[in-house]
Amino acid sequence: MARLVIVSNRVPIPKSRGAAAGGLAIALRDLLTPGSMWFGWSGRLTAEPAAQPSLVEARGVTYATVDLTAEAHRSFYVGFANGALWPLLHFRLGLMRFHREDYEGYLAVNQTFAASLEPVLQPDDTVWVHDYHLIPFGRMLRARGFQGPIGFFLHVPFVPPSMLEAMPVARELVVDLCAYDLVGFQTEEHARDFRDCAQRMLGATVDGEWVRLNGRRMRAFADPIGIDAESFAQEAGRAASDKLVRRVAESMVGRALIIGVDRMDYSKGLPQRFEAFGRLLEKHPEHRRKIHYLQICPRSREEVDEYRKLRIDLDRLAGRINGKFSEFDWTPLRYSARAAPRSTLAGLYRIGRIGVVTPLRDGMNLVAKEFVASQPDEDPGVLVLSKFAGAAHELTEALIVNPFDPDAIADAVHLGLIMPVAERRERHAALKAKVLRTTAQVYCRRFLDALAQRPLVRAAA
């Protein structure tokens, strides 16, 4: 069997104190079988990074990582990936900061990664590249002579041609995506937008999921990511004994918990959500003293200006809401920038009466799926979900809202709070069945099976 080589910016080396493992790392970690390899950034900045990756073996998996210089990291990660690509792909053109030297730095880091990985690859390896940090990586690896299958999965949304064209190097990005054998997107809408870009911007021929460019065919399809729902549900059940979960549950004194968990990112719609909570208390005073809204939003990417500004905005908004509605023995909004372990989060979701997941734009949003998996079947809570999260394409029994409309969010939370248990059970059963069906394992298998069909792709080209 071909060896699987995963490539991503962050590498979840077990027990590493370097890079923090994100959602992607957790989704894939469980699926790495002995013999496979995970390659990417070590999480370290050094003055003179070695050309060869440093190798660590854990549970039969080789973790191969390279260091970056501070300057390379700044232009690659802070500058182009998170200062230009992230806002663009989240439909925030006004926040896109494009600098040609950042793009050069992005290309250079991708070259460095390709140059370090290529010598440790075996000819029959299958390479699976992840996310917007590494769009040119496949083309660069191919140019170094690697002949095996190379697939790419984009965890974030993709935009229509009219929006992508605002990016000065849009053509280059689409050419680079076309260089993969297979590109996976979270939803069919994103896959279609990409194929439209290839057609309109490069003159590619599109036939269903297939894109033909310069005599070569590649496939762009939707493969929605999932969670390990069974184990997450079990973790949520066990977490009732978690100290922090118990403390939060006790502090509720019978009040209903509204819970939100997001990285502190402007794509998550947090100011609108805070405002919605204020509107709820305003419009429905009957809920005052009977609910608590807990928002956990660990700080993220604070090297980027927009993220620092967001923190200031949220501090101000939280202060305003609590200043307006608090009573001596009731604080309506608790907001914490601290990260919590996965097991604690699972326990908090379980005791949540309403899960609020209202990003302005999101590739998938696994918190929505985790909230569903964690809820008790007999007395489940209600998920309030943004129509612009990839998850809304699947989780249609949630209360779907427009995240730009604080009143709509407030109305949905109110509806969730008064919803009879029979309706909650019915919605939850339908949602849970979906979350259990489209798991992380299904996602990986679908992608790798599609990538394995590549020789047929070549023959047909």
Could you list the active site residues? 155, 362
Going by C-alpha positions, the residue among 82, 93, 10 that lies closest to residue 305 is 82
Q: How deeply is 124 buried, as exposed, middle or buried, from its count of CB atoms within 10 A (0-12, 13-18, 19+)? A: exposed
Q: Does 298 bind ligand F6P (CB under 6 A)?
A: no
Nearer to ligand F6P, 304 or 398 (CB): 304
Q: Tell me which residue has its CB nearest to ligand F6P.
A: 22
Q: How far is the CB of 366 from ligand F6P (least distance, A)?
A: 9
- Alpha-carbon separation of residue 278 from 294, 317, 325 (angstroms): 13, 9, 8
Separation CA 55–CA 185 (nearest Å): 30
Give the helix/strand (H/E) hosting 220: strand 216-222
Give the residue with the Cβ less far from ligand F6P, 131 or 411: 131
- Please give the Cα distance from 292 to 255 (Å, whole number): 7
In the complex with ligand F6P, the residue whose CB is nearer, 301 or 361, is 301
Determine which residue in the list 139, 217, 279, 301 makes contact with ligand F6P, applying CB under 6 A. 301
Rank residues 154 and 408 by Cβ distance to ligand F6P and give the closer one.
Answer: 154
Nearest-approach distance from CB 41 to ligand F6P, in angstroms: 9
At which residue do the structure tokens 């998550």 appear? Answer: 268
359 touches 388 (CB < 8 A): yes
Name the segment binding ligand F6P (CB under 6 A); options: 19-27, 32-40, 210-218, 340-348: 19-27
> Two tokens at 353?
């009466």
Q: How far is the CB of 10 from ligand F6P (least distance, A)?
A: 5
Q: Using CB under 6 A, which of 4, 5, 6, 24 touches ligand F6P?
A: 24
Binding-site string for ligand F6P from residue 149 to residue 168, where x marks contact by CB under 6 A and - marks none: ------xx------------
In the beta sheet, which residues pair with residue 333? Answer: 293
Q: Which is nearer to ligand F6P, 139 or 155 (CB)?
A: 155
Q: Binding residue for ligand F6P (CB under 6 A) from 42, 300, 344, 358?
A: 300
Beta bridge partners of 384: 356, 399
Query: To the nearest whole angstrom, how small is the minimum distance from the Cβ of residue 156 to ligand F6P?
Result: 5
Provide the minimum distance between the beta carbon of 83 and ligand F6P in the complex, in angstroms, as a whole number: 12
Residue 82 three-state SS: helix
Q: Residue 126's closest CA among 456, 451, 460? A: 451
Token pair of 318, please?
A: 């939280």
Alpha-carbon separation of residue 392 from 358, 365, 389, 400 (angstroms): 10, 9, 6, 7
Please identify, among the stretches 21-29, 67-75, 241-249, 401-409, the one whose residues bind ligand F6P according to the rule CB under 6 A: 21-29
Binding site for ligand F6P (CB under 6 A): 10, 22-24, 131, 155-156, 300-301
